[in-house]
Amino acid sequence: MKLIYNRIFLEHDVGIHPESKRRLQSCGKLKETKIENGEKYLELVHSKKYIDRVKKACRLENYLDSNTIVSKKTYKTAVSAVGATVQASKSNDFALVRPPGHHAFPDHSSGFCIFNNISIAVQKLVDEGKKVLIFDFDSHLGDGTSKYFYESNKVLYWSLHQFPAFPYRGDVDEIGEGNGKGFTVNVPLSPGSGDDIYLEAVKRLLPVARQFKPDLVAVSAGFDGHQSDPLLELRLSMNIFYELGKILSKNFENVFATLEGGYNLEFFPKCLFNFVDGIHGTRQRFKEEKTDSRIITIENFESRIYSLEKNLERFWKL
Protein backbone atom coordinates (compact mmCIF):
# COMPACT_ATOMS: atom_id res chain seq x y z
CA MET A 1 0.00 0.00 0.00
CA LYS A 2 1.65 3.19 -1.24
CA LEU A 3 0.66 6.73 -0.28
CA ILE A 4 -0.92 8.65 -3.18
CA TYR A 5 -0.08 12.28 -2.49
CA ASN A 6 0.37 15.52 -4.39
CA ARG A 7 1.04 19.07 -3.20
CA ILE A 8 -2.26 20.11 -4.76
CA PHE A 9 -3.89 18.87 -1.54
CA LEU A 10 -2.24 21.79 0.27
CA GLU A 11 -4.10 24.30 -1.92
CA HIS A 12 -7.45 23.96 -0.14
CA ASP A 13 -6.74 27.00 2.05
CA VAL A 14 -8.85 27.17 5.20
CA GLY A 15 -6.52 29.25 7.36
CA ILE A 16 -6.48 28.44 11.07
CA HIS A 17 -8.81 25.45 11.15
CA PRO A 18 -8.54 21.85 12.43
CA GLU A 19 -8.66 20.56 8.83
CA SER A 20 -5.78 22.67 7.49
CA LYS A 21 -2.87 21.91 5.17
CA ARG A 22 -0.68 21.45 8.24
CA ARG A 23 -2.19 17.98 8.61
CA LEU A 24 -0.43 16.74 5.49
CA GLN A 25 2.66 18.85 6.09
CA SER A 26 3.05 17.05 9.42
CA CYS A 27 3.82 13.86 7.49
CA GLY A 28 7.17 15.24 6.33
CA LYS A 29 8.56 15.08 2.82
CA LEU A 30 6.36 12.81 0.72
CA LYS A 31 6.84 11.41 -2.76
CA GLU A 32 4.41 13.02 -5.19
CA THR A 33 2.11 11.13 -7.53
CA LYS A 34 0.40 12.41 -10.66
CA ILE A 35 -3.29 12.70 -9.75
CA GLU A 36 -6.23 11.91 -12.00
CA ASN A 37 -8.82 14.67 -12.39
CA GLY A 38 -11.86 13.27 -10.59
CA GLU A 39 -14.41 15.75 -11.94
CA LYS A 40 -15.87 13.21 -14.34
CA TYR A 41 -16.84 10.97 -11.40
CA LEU A 42 -18.68 13.55 -9.29
CA GLU A 43 -22.16 12.85 -10.64
CA LEU A 44 -21.89 9.20 -9.62
CA VAL A 45 -22.94 10.51 -6.19
CA HIS A 46 -23.50 14.29 -6.27
CA SER A 47 -26.21 16.33 -7.97
CA LYS A 48 -25.21 18.77 -10.71
CA LYS A 49 -26.92 21.56 -8.78
CA TYR A 50 -24.70 20.92 -5.76
CA ILE A 51 -21.54 20.67 -7.89
CA ASP A 52 -22.36 24.05 -9.43
CA ARG A 53 -22.96 25.51 -5.97
CA VAL A 54 -19.50 24.36 -4.85
CA LYS A 55 -17.90 25.97 -7.93
CA LYS A 56 -19.66 29.26 -7.23
CA ALA A 57 -18.77 29.22 -3.53
CA CYS A 58 -15.12 28.67 -4.40
CA ARG A 59 -15.11 31.61 -6.81
CA LEU A 60 -16.54 33.80 -4.04
CA GLU A 61 -14.50 32.15 -1.23
CA ASN A 62 -17.59 31.55 0.88
CA TYR A 63 -18.52 28.99 3.52
CA LEU A 64 -20.46 25.96 2.25
CA ASP A 65 -21.79 25.40 5.76
CA SER A 66 -20.87 26.57 9.25
CA ASN A 67 -17.89 24.19 9.47
CA THR A 68 -16.80 23.88 5.84
CA ILE A 69 -14.71 26.69 4.37
CA VAL A 70 -13.70 26.98 0.71
CA SER A 71 -11.09 29.04 -1.13
CA LYS A 72 -10.47 29.79 -4.81
CA LYS A 73 -8.50 26.56 -5.34
CA THR A 74 -10.75 24.32 -3.25
CA TYR A 75 -12.76 22.96 -6.19
CA LYS A 76 -9.62 21.84 -8.03
CA THR A 77 -8.27 20.31 -4.82
CA ALA A 78 -11.53 18.51 -4.01
CA VAL A 79 -11.89 16.93 -7.45
CA SER A 80 -8.25 15.84 -7.19
CA ALA A 81 -9.09 14.15 -3.87
CA VAL A 82 -11.83 12.24 -5.69
CA GLY A 83 -9.42 11.30 -8.47
CA ALA A 84 -6.77 10.10 -6.03
CA THR A 85 -9.30 7.94 -4.18
CA VAL A 86 -10.42 6.32 -7.44
CA GLN A 87 -6.73 5.72 -8.26
CA ALA A 88 -6.24 4.09 -4.86
CA SER A 89 -9.20 1.79 -5.52
CA LYS A 90 -7.45 0.47 -8.62
CA SER A 91 -4.07 -0.17 -7.00
CA ASN A 92 -4.85 -1.02 -3.34
CA ASP A 93 -3.15 2.17 -2.17
CA PHE A 94 -3.82 4.95 0.34
CA ALA A 95 -5.09 8.31 -0.98
CA LEU A 96 -3.51 10.86 1.37
CA VAL A 97 -5.92 13.65 0.47
CA ARG A 98 -7.82 16.63 1.72
CA PRO A 99 -10.52 17.80 1.94
CA PRO A 100 -11.96 14.64 3.53
CA GLY A 101 -15.26 13.26 2.32
CA HIS A 102 -17.34 10.92 4.48
CA HIS A 103 -19.71 13.58 5.88
CA ALA A 104 -20.62 14.91 2.42
CA PHE A 105 -24.11 14.17 1.07
CA PRO A 106 -25.25 14.15 -2.57
CA ASP A 107 -26.70 17.65 -2.23
CA HIS A 108 -24.78 19.32 0.59
CA SER A 109 -21.49 19.57 2.44
CA SER A 110 -20.96 18.83 6.11
CA GLY A 111 -18.20 18.45 8.70
CA PHE A 112 -15.26 19.81 6.61
CA CYS A 113 -16.28 17.49 3.70
CA ILE A 114 -17.19 18.67 0.19
CA PHE A 115 -17.29 15.66 -2.14
CA ASN A 116 -17.65 12.16 -0.73
CA ASN A 117 -14.41 10.62 -1.97
CA ILE A 118 -15.02 7.09 -0.66
CA SER A 119 -18.66 6.92 -1.82
CA ILE A 120 -17.74 8.02 -5.33
CA ALA A 121 -14.97 5.42 -5.63
CA VAL A 122 -17.24 2.71 -4.20
CA GLN A 123 -20.21 3.60 -6.42
CA LYS A 124 -17.90 3.29 -9.42
CA LEU A 125 -16.90 -0.19 -8.23
CA VAL A 126 -20.55 -1.18 -7.65
CA ASP A 127 -21.39 -0.04 -11.18
CA GLU A 128 -18.64 -2.41 -12.35
CA GLY A 129 -20.35 -5.31 -10.58
CA LYS A 130 -18.26 -5.39 -7.40
CA LYS A 131 -19.34 -5.96 -3.78
CA VAL A 132 -17.58 -3.56 -1.44
CA LEU A 133 -17.07 -3.43 2.31
CA ILE A 134 -16.61 0.11 3.59
CA PHE A 135 -14.70 0.04 6.88
CA ASP A 136 -14.92 3.49 8.42
CA PHE A 137 -12.64 3.80 11.43
CA ASP A 138 -12.77 7.57 11.59
CA SER A 139 -14.19 8.16 15.04
CA HIS A 140 -16.97 10.40 13.75
CA LEU A 141 -19.71 8.49 11.94
CA GLY A 142 -19.44 8.93 8.17
CA ASP A 143 -23.08 9.95 7.94
CA GLY A 144 -22.92 10.96 4.28
CA THR A 145 -21.49 7.58 3.27
CA SER A 146 -23.85 5.64 5.52
CA LYS A 147 -26.91 7.46 4.21
CA TYR A 148 -25.92 7.04 0.57
CA PHE A 149 -25.61 3.24 0.79
CA TYR A 150 -28.31 2.73 3.44
CA GLU A 151 -30.63 0.80 1.09
CA SER A 152 -27.94 -1.13 -0.80
CA ASN A 153 -27.04 -4.79 -0.37
CA LYS A 154 -23.99 -4.39 -2.64
CA VAL A 155 -22.17 -2.35 0.01
CA LEU A 156 -21.66 -3.27 3.66
CA TYR A 157 -20.96 -0.15 5.71
CA TRP A 158 -19.16 -0.83 9.02
CA SER A 159 -18.31 2.07 11.31
CA LEU A 160 -16.70 2.36 14.74
CA HIS A 161 -17.23 5.83 16.20
CA GLN A 162 -17.71 7.82 19.37
CA PHE A 163 -21.34 8.18 20.37
CA PRO A 164 -22.67 10.67 21.18
CA ALA A 165 -20.56 13.00 19.06
CA PHE A 166 -20.96 14.83 15.74
CA PRO A 167 -22.99 14.02 13.64
CA TYR A 168 -25.10 12.52 16.46
CA ARG A 169 -26.14 9.47 14.46
CA GLY A 170 -24.94 5.88 14.23
CA ASP A 171 -26.67 3.99 17.03
CA VAL A 172 -27.07 0.20 17.06
CA ASP A 173 -30.60 0.23 15.62
CA GLU A 174 -29.47 1.97 12.41
CA ILE A 175 -28.84 -1.17 10.33
CA GLY A 176 -30.13 -0.17 6.89
CA GLU A 177 -33.48 -0.15 5.12
CA GLY A 178 -35.16 -2.05 2.30
CA ASN A 179 -32.71 -4.27 0.43
CA GLY A 180 -29.97 -2.79 2.59
CA LYS A 181 -31.40 -3.92 5.93
CA GLY A 182 -28.61 -5.64 7.82
CA PHE A 183 -25.91 -4.07 5.63
CA THR A 184 -25.13 -1.13 7.93
CA VAL A 185 -23.17 -1.99 11.08
CA ASN A 186 -22.72 0.85 13.57
CA VAL A 187 -20.53 0.32 16.62
CA PRO A 188 -21.11 3.31 18.95
CA LEU A 189 -18.32 3.75 21.51
CA SER A 190 -18.65 5.78 24.71
CA PRO A 191 -16.22 8.62 25.44
CA GLY A 192 -13.23 7.16 27.28
CA SER A 193 -13.22 3.88 25.32
CA GLY A 194 -9.70 2.46 25.12
CA ASP A 195 -7.78 -0.14 23.15
CA ASP A 196 -9.40 -3.06 24.98
CA ILE A 197 -12.95 -2.17 23.95
CA TYR A 198 -11.95 -1.15 20.43
CA LEU A 199 -10.21 -4.41 19.56
CA GLU A 200 -13.05 -6.40 21.12
CA ALA A 201 -15.54 -4.53 18.93
CA VAL A 202 -13.55 -5.27 15.77
CA LYS A 203 -13.23 -8.97 16.62
CA ARG A 204 -16.92 -9.33 17.48
CA LEU A 205 -18.12 -7.83 14.17
CA LEU A 206 -15.39 -9.17 11.87
CA PRO A 207 -17.46 -12.32 11.14
CA VAL A 208 -20.12 -10.13 9.48
CA ALA A 209 -17.54 -8.53 7.19
CA ARG A 210 -16.08 -11.93 6.29
CA GLN A 211 -19.50 -13.46 5.55
CA PHE A 212 -20.24 -10.57 3.18
CA LYS A 213 -17.30 -11.76 1.04
CA PRO A 214 -16.42 -8.38 -0.48
CA ASP A 215 -14.44 -8.07 -3.67
CA LEU A 216 -12.73 -5.02 -2.17
CA VAL A 217 -12.46 -3.25 1.16
CA ALA A 218 -12.65 0.55 1.04
CA VAL A 219 -11.29 2.19 4.20
CA SER A 220 -12.37 5.60 5.43
CA ALA A 221 -9.22 6.10 7.46
CA GLY A 222 -9.59 8.66 10.22
CA PHE A 223 -7.12 8.92 13.09
CA ASP A 224 -9.17 11.11 15.42
CA GLY A 225 -9.78 8.25 17.85
CA HIS A 226 -6.27 8.69 19.22
CA GLN A 227 -6.29 9.80 22.86
CA SER A 228 -4.57 13.10 21.99
CA ASP A 229 -7.05 14.21 19.32
CA PRO A 230 -8.59 17.63 20.11
CA LEU A 231 -12.04 16.93 18.63
CA LEU A 232 -13.02 13.65 20.34
CA GLU A 233 -12.75 11.81 23.64
CA LEU A 234 -11.76 8.23 22.81
CA ARG A 235 -8.59 6.87 24.39
CA LEU A 236 -6.94 4.85 21.62
CA SER A 237 -3.19 4.40 21.47
CA MET A 238 -1.13 4.51 18.29
CA ASN A 239 -0.94 0.71 18.48
CA ILE A 240 -4.59 0.33 17.48
CA PHE A 241 -3.99 1.59 13.95
CA TYR A 242 -1.20 -0.93 13.41
CA GLU A 243 -3.55 -3.69 14.63
CA LEU A 244 -6.30 -2.52 12.27
CA GLY A 245 -3.90 -2.69 9.33
CA LYS A 246 -2.86 -6.21 10.30
CA ILE A 247 -6.45 -7.41 10.69
CA LEU A 248 -7.52 -6.02 7.32
CA SER A 249 -4.47 -7.42 5.51
CA LYS A 250 -4.92 -10.86 7.09
CA ASN A 251 -8.63 -11.17 6.30
CA PHE A 252 -9.07 -9.42 2.92
CA GLU A 253 -7.11 -9.52 -0.32
CA ASN A 254 -7.92 -6.10 -1.83
CA VAL A 255 -7.81 -3.12 0.51
CA PHE A 256 -7.55 0.57 -0.33
CA ALA A 257 -7.97 3.68 1.81
CA THR A 258 -8.58 7.40 1.74
CA LEU A 259 -7.89 9.92 4.49
CA GLU A 260 -10.68 11.31 6.62
CA GLY A 261 -9.94 12.89 10.04
CA GLY A 262 -7.11 13.07 12.56
CA TYR A 263 -6.20 16.48 13.93
CA ASN A 264 -3.32 16.20 16.40
CA LEU A 265 -0.31 17.17 14.29
CA GLU A 266 2.18 15.25 16.44
CA PHE A 267 0.33 11.94 16.55
CA PHE A 268 -1.65 11.90 13.29
CA PRO A 269 1.35 10.97 11.06
CA LYS A 270 2.51 8.32 13.54
CA CYS A 271 -0.93 6.69 13.52
CA LEU A 272 -1.01 6.87 9.71
CA PHE A 273 2.38 5.22 9.28
CA ASN A 274 1.47 2.57 11.85
CA PHE A 275 -1.65 1.68 9.83
CA VAL A 276 0.38 1.28 6.63
CA ASP A 277 2.98 -0.80 8.51
CA GLY A 278 0.17 -3.03 9.73
CA ILE A 279 -1.14 -3.52 6.19
CA HIS A 280 2.37 -4.46 5.06
CA GLY A 281 3.02 -6.70 8.06
CA THR A 282 6.30 -4.88 8.77
CA ARG A 283 7.66 -3.62 12.08
CA GLN A 284 5.44 -1.13 13.93
CA ARG A 285 7.34 2.15 13.87
CA PHE A 286 5.60 4.00 16.68
CA LYS A 287 4.49 2.48 19.99
CA GLU A 288 2.95 3.68 23.20
CA GLU A 289 1.39 2.10 26.26
CA LYS A 290 -1.90 0.32 25.63
CA THR A 291 -5.01 1.96 27.05
CA ASP A 292 -7.76 0.35 29.11
CA SER A 293 -11.34 1.47 29.67
CA ARG A 294 -13.06 2.17 32.98
CA ILE A 295 -15.60 -0.35 34.28
CA ILE A 296 -18.60 1.88 33.49
CA THR A 297 -17.37 2.32 29.90
CA ILE A 298 -16.96 -1.44 29.52
CA GLU A 299 -20.48 -2.01 30.86
CA ASN A 300 -21.91 0.51 28.36
CA PHE A 301 -20.03 -1.21 25.57
CA GLU A 302 -21.29 -4.68 26.51
CA SER A 303 -24.88 -3.44 26.55
CA ARG A 304 -24.55 -1.78 23.16
CA ILE A 305 -22.70 -4.62 21.44
CA TYR A 306 -25.29 -7.12 22.73
CA SER A 307 -28.10 -4.99 21.27
CA LEU A 308 -26.25 -4.63 17.97
CA GLU A 309 -25.69 -8.38 17.69
CA LYS A 310 -29.38 -9.02 18.40
CA ASN A 311 -30.33 -6.57 15.65
CA LEU A 312 -28.02 -8.28 13.16
CA GLU A 313 -28.44 -11.95 14.08
CA ARG A 314 -31.20 -12.63 11.56
CA PHE A 315 -28.96 -11.40 8.75
CA TRP A 316 -25.57 -12.86 9.76
CA LYS A 317 -24.10 -15.69 11.83
CA LEU A 318 -22.60 -14.22 14.99
Question: Catalytic amino acids?
Answer: 103
Query: Count of residues for the chain?
Result: 318
Collect all residues with Cβ–Cβ distance below 8 Å to 318 and sequence separation of at least 6: 204, 207, 208, 309, 312
Buried b (16+ CB within 10 A) or exposed e, 3-12: bbbbebbbbb
Q: Which residues sit opposite 65 in a β-bridge?
A: 68
Pairwise CA distance, residues 12 & 114, whole Å: 11
CA distance to 36, 65, 100, 219, 237, per residue, from 258 (Å): 15, 23, 8, 6, 21
User: Omega of the bond prior to 164 within 30 degrees of 0, cis?
Assistant: yes
User: Is the preceding omega at residue 99 within 30 degrees of 0, hence cis?
Assistant: yes
Give the C-alpha separation, 127 to 108, whole Å.
23
- Report d(CA 237, CA 59) in Å as an integer: 41
DSSP 189: E
> Can you tell me the distance from the alpha carbon of 233 to that of 251, in angstroms, rounded to the nearest whole number?
29
Residue type, 44: L
> Taking a C-beta distance cutoff of 8 angstroms, is the pair 101, 261 a contact?
no
